[in-house]
Amino acid sequence: MTFVLEPFDAPNQTGGPGLDDALLAGLNPRQREAVEYRGPSLLIVAGAGSGKTSVLTRRIAGLLQSREAFPSQILAITFTNKAAAEMRERVGQLVGNQAEGMWISTFHSACVRILRREAENFGFTKSFTIYDSADSRALLKRIVKELNADTYGFTVSSASGKISKLKNELQDVESYARGANFSDPAEVMFLEIFRRYTQELSRANAFDFDDLIGQTVYLFRAFPRVAALYRRRFRHILVDEYQDTNHAQYALIHELTRPVASEIAEEVEGANGLTRSHRDQHGAIPGASLTVVGDSDQSIYAFRGADIRNIVEFERDFPNSRVILLEQNYRSTQNILDAANAVISNNFDRKDKKLFTDIGGGEKIVGFTGYSGHDEAQFIADEITKLHESGVDYKDIAVFYRTNAQTRALEEIFIRSALPYRVLGGTKFYERAEIKDAMAYLIAVANPADPLALRRIMNVPKRGIGPATETALQRYADAHEMSLREAVRHAGELGLGPKVTGEILEFGSILDDVMATVYPPEGQAPAKVSDILVALLTRTKFVDSLRASRDAQDEARAENVEELVAVTKEFQKNHPDGTLLDFLTEVSLVAAADDLDDSSGTVSLMTLHTAKGLEYEAVFLTGIEEDLLPHRMSAGEPGGPAEERRLFYVGITRARKRLFLSLAMTRAAYGNVNVAMPSRYLQEIPAELIDWRQSPGMANSRGGTEPRALNARREGSSWGSSLREAAALPPGKPREKTQWANMVTNVVRDNSALVLAAGDRVRHVDFGDGRVTAVTGEGAKRVAEVQFDTAGRKRLLVKIAPIEKVE
């Protein structure tokens, strides 16, 4: 990540842009204006699917092509790294390798880049660690425990939520204390939590997610000369998804677009040997031009501090702004847009905006009400199979849901139906314990001040360093005012047993040795990330001890760690000069949508939040039920139901041609089953737009058109008995509930030996009798296609399907 300051005075400062025709080809008049307009600030209100990415990339390409700006003078902020990569690529297609020097990144990545360069200005070092939410919760947990704050009603999540909220409002401990009510003991306690938390972070040389933005703003405000460097550099700032910016992000943009006063400009450019910038009549460097793109109907991050006012009040905040509205939709059919418009028009305090298209009506929206979450999932699996057979690629199909917990039923059915799928977000690779452990080793050698990472790995693999020893080390560190890491080196002075002492010293010297390769003496190249990781893993016998374990899961864990090694190699390949810090940063800031791979050939499962900004040929919106969408937790929040409606709206507008809305009559949660009611939002869609295959009403009465797969389970041969058969258990002894719940997905049922051929009759526990029409695949992946007498056609993964041959 280099930071080259190029000479400023770009040619062609005057006159219109006179853009190349190719850049404007195929744009409608509004889009064209959004590309061509030049002025201090521009707000593009871009409805869903209105081609805003196209407009944004052409606008950037225009600035470069007309030589109004050098690449290095452009800062574009996107919502995900994926979107950033896509924008870079598309600008590259328009202007070639010029695109290299631009900053296109997320708020968080851009701030990390600035902070790494400038951290030394205010008590941090460039090797600072980024605490993700799990890390900061772990820290808060210690603090809450130490202070016994739970007696005042504080939980880790309430404290973390409150701190996050304050930081998003740019409040710090001092400013909060000024307005605090000191006669309220709970408030005093919170202040103490906040103070300790802040203190621990800075002692650990660490920032949490919110700090990345907030501290950058602080840096700019406290050090005008530092700020001047960036204000001078970035002449064109573009922000995507502006409706989801919070106050801190808004302030950051504001700071970056300020003009630089004459004296400071002179001083900074003189001191750094920089070319003299273009000045206005007062000798100041004018503020950068700002372009923001957003749609208040798609604001879905208020819970995270996103402030819709940022977009609503843009014209007031940035006087002389131009506002351009993009309403023509190039993505969806009119039926889908009609549904979206109808739903969103129920939010009253909005500027009226109606999406339209000339694509045509298209197919009706399909509705389905299942008897349970599994029934719903089965419907989705069946429809996906049909879509696939009619020529729709799996990668063009997505399934959305409100909460991550809903993936379970979907995954179970998808596995049984042998559908290739992938879950975006959810429990990520990097959240696995063994991966966090391995990462903590890397952090420990990158940032020795971080005690959290050190504590995590001190006893991984087992070295006999338990809580008691850890406390002793911490006490020693506190008494001698040194870091925990330093205390490890002094383990000999603690009077612990010889065995533990030896282990601690060995542990410390491994870290010291490897750290010497990370920060080598002047003139030598630092070690490669993969070499660093491998050195740590081999010397600590991390992988070896996992492989030696008798717990079967540890083998899988070892493989995950090997996978991490592969990730570091891949990283090194993509970034030949990438340092350990670059790697750690990249890992900390991956977003859910980032690991989306278009060529994957799998159905994508994700939350509605992750779906923002994406589009698919066919979309399944699941769990459209009260208490789920709108979610129960949103009911209390002011504006909650409206935000949930926008979430629904976002989901609908992701679909290009086909939209499926589904719900279930009963929904399992925390081990018990609850009755679910259709979402209020369903009624907001005009009835003629939806073709109900099984409507909520039909499902309630006895006239369902689909076979009652789950009723069959209850009435006929019960699931439990056939599973007992499969597992060859004595019939008299029913299995425990918890045991057979997992058998569906686990491999306890193993039909590998079952020989099936087209024409065979089979009996399925849920679907009844049917005839095999085809068998494809090999071994564990053998799939049977069965035409059931009453349940229709299904694809089944033979190995785990609850079926048997009948004569």
Active site residues: 52-53, 240-241, 298, 654
Smallest distance from DNA to CB 546, Å: 12
Q: DSSP characters for 412-456?
A: HHHHHTT--EEE-SSS-GGGSHHHHHHHHHHHHHH-TT-HHHHHH
Exactly one of 637, 684, 769, 804 binds DNA (CB under 7 A); which one? 637
Q: Least Å distance between CB 436 and DNA?
A: 11
Scanning 87-95, 307-315, 630-638, 756-764 for contacts with DNA by CB under 7 A, the matching segment is 630-638
Q: Is 346 in the site for DNA (CB under 7 A)?
A: no
Task: Answer yes or no whether residue 593 interacts with DNA by CB under 7 A.
Answer: yes
Q: Does 462 contact DNA by CB under 7 A?
A: yes
Q: To 5 degrees, how large is the angle CA 331–CA 606–CA 392?
A: 50
Write down the least CB distance from residue 747 to DNA, Å: 15
In the bound complex, what is the minimum distance in angstroms from residue 237's beta carbon to DNA? Answer: 18
Does residue 713 belong to the site contacting DNA (CB under 7 A)? no
Q: Would you state the structure tokens that stand for residue 446, as one six-digit string?
A: 């990158």
Write the DSSP symbol of residue 800.
Answer: G
- In whole angstroms, the minimum distance from the beta carbon of 672 to DNA comes to 8
State how far the Cα of 189 lies from the Cα of 706, in Å rounded to an integer.
58
* Residue 224 binding DNA, by CB under 7 A: no
Of positions 262, 328, 345, 403, contacts DNA by CB under 7 A = 403
670 near DNA (CB under 7 A): yes
CA 395 to chain centre: 19
Q: Which stretch binds DNA (CB under 7 A): 8-16, 385-393, 466-474, 764-772?
A: 466-474
**Whole-angstrom Cα distance, residue 133 to residue 145?**
18
Among 257, 634, 695, 722, binds DNA (CB under 7 A): 634
Handedness of CA 559, 561, 566, 567 (dihedral sign): positive
Q: Is 610 in the site for DNA (CB under 7 A)?
A: yes
589 touching DNA, by CB under 7 A = yes
Q: What is the DSSP letter of 733?
A: S
- Binding residue (CB under 7 A) for DNA from 404, 501, 517, 572: 404
Q: Backbone phi, then psi, for 285, in 5-degree steps?
A: -85, 120
- Which CB contacts under 8 angstroms, 24+ apart, belong to 743-748? 744/412, 744/416, 744/800, 745/411, 745/412, 745/415, 745/800, 747/799, 747/800
Find the binder of DNA among 189, 336, 532, 592 (CB under 7 A).
Answer: 592
Subset of residues 671 to 690 that bind DNA, contact rule: CB under 7 A:
671
User: Which one of residues 167, 374, 631, 724 is an interface residue with DNA (CB under 7 A)?
Assistant: 631
- Retrieve residue 571's tokens: 């990283």
Please count the residues of this chain forming the interface with DNA, following the rule CB under 7 A. 49
Stretch that binds DNA, among 90-98, 101-109, 345-353, 571-579 (CB under 7 A): 101-109
Choose the binding region for DNA from 321-329, 606-614, 657-665, 684-692 (rule: CB under 7 A): 606-614
Secondary element (H or E) of residue 591: none
Question: What burial class does residue 120 get, using C-beta atoms within 10 Å of its C-beta: 0-12 exposed, 13-18 middle, 19+ buried?
Answer: exposed
Strand order in the sheet with 289-294: 103-106, 74-78, 236-239, 289-294, 41-46, 322-326
- Contact map string, positions 418 to 437, toward DNA, x by CB under 7 A: -------x------------
Q: What sections of 179-280 are H helices per DSSP?
A: 185-203, 209-222, 224-233, 247-256, 262-271
Sketch the per residue contact string, 289 through 328, with DNA: x for CB under 7 A, - otherwise.
-----------x--xx------------------------
Between 191 and 743, name the residue whose CB sits nearer to DNA.
Answer: 743
Nearest distance, CB of residue 166 and DNA, angstroms = 14
718 binds DNA (CB under 7 A): no
Tokens representing 223 are 């050090």
DSSP per residue, 460-512: SS--S--HHHHHHHHHHHHHTT--HHHHHHTGGGG---HHHHHHHHHHHHHHH
Q: Binding of DNA at residue 239 (CB under 7 A)? A: no
- Only segment of 55-63, 173-181, 251-259, 662-670 that touches DNA (CB under 7 A): 662-670
Q: Is 344 within 8 Å of 646 (Cβ atoms)?
A: yes
Residue 481 CB partners (closer than 8 Å, separation 6+): none
Alpha-carbon distances of 144 from 41, 147, 546, rounded to whole Å: 46, 5, 33
Binder to DNA among 12, 121, 125, 133 (CB under 7 A)?
A: 133
Among 96, 420, 464, 777, binds DNA (CB under 7 A): 464
Of 408 and 771, the one with the shorter C-beta distance to DNA is 408
Give the SS3 label for residue 788.
strand
Query: Is residue 498 near DNA by the rule CB under 7 A?
Result: no
**Residue ranges in contact with DNA by CB under 7 A:** 80, 106-108, 132-133, 141, 155, 157, 209-210, 300, 303-304, 402-405, 425, 459, 462-469, 500, 589, 591-593, 607, 609-610, 631-634, 637, 668-671, 737-738, 741-742
